[in-house]
């Protein structure tokens, strides 16, 4: 038995035929071919598969695909493009926050959701805010720099 779900993926409506036990991660990668969503542990520990679901950062591996019916999903591709990156994306590049890159998509999504809720964070708050995303290159300092720099930039643009 498959279930038809309709999601808005990076601004475009998509109807996907999913199994009741399929994860949103699998539906995004295999049905919608959104390969920018990375599969790390499939178990909610690593955060590589983080997407925005109705504005909130979630582990897409821990969401049942049918539960996403009617939701707005944003992946790292939905935040910006190579020509016009989002402030967070640009800051990750400029701060040297990318090593192997596997965690980056999830990190950028988590950082985006975090800064939306906390636009002027301390470094401790940034660490807590990104605590669901693991970087196995352990490039955390640069990642935290990137989020802090993005926050600063937001701040100065707002003034």
Question: Which one, of 67, 76, 94, 78, lies nearest residue 153 by Cα?
Answer: 94
For position 129 contacting another protein by CB under 8 A, the verdict is yes
For position 116 contacting another protein by CB under 8 A, the verdict is no
Secondary structure of residue 122 in the 3-state scheme: coil
Secondary structure of residue 7 in the 3-state scheme: strand
DSSP 37-71: S--S-SSSSS-TTEEEETTEEEEGGGSBGGGGTT-
Evaluate whether 75 touches 109 at the Cβ level (below 8 Å).
yes
x-marked contacts with another protein along 27-66 as a string, rule CB under 8 A: ---------------xxxx-x--x--x--xxxx-xxxx-x
For position 120 contacting another protein by CB under 8 A, the verdict is no
Nearer to another protein, 67 or 93 (CB): 67
* Of 15, 35, 67, 152, the one binding another protein by CB under 8 A: 67
Secondary structure of residue 14 in the 3-state scheme: strand
Note the residues at the interface with another protein (CB under 8 A).
Answer: 1, 3, 19-21, 23, 42-45, 47, 50, 53, 56-59, 61-64, 66-67, 69, 110, 113-114, 127-129, 131-133
């Amino acid at each position: 038995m498959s279930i038809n779900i309709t999601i808005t993926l990076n601004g475009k409506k998509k109807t996907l035929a999913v199994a009741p036990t399929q994860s949103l991660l699998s539906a995004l990668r295999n049905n919608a071919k959104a390969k920018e969503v990375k599969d790390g542990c499939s178990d909610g520990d690593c955060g590589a598969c983080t997407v925005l679901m109705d504005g909130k950062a979630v582990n897409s591996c821990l969401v049942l695909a049918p539960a996403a019916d009617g939701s707005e999903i944003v992946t790292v591709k939905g935040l910006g493009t190579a020509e016009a990156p989002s402030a967070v994306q640009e800051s990750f590049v400029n701060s040297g926050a990318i090593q192997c890159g596997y965690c980056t998509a999830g990190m950028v999504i988590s950082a985006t959701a975090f800064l939306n809720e906390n636009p002027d964070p301390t470094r401790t708050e940034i660490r807590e805010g990104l605590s669901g995303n693991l970087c196995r290159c352990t490039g955390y300092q640069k990642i935290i720099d990137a989020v802090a720099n993005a926050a600063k930039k937001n701040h100065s643009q707002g003034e």
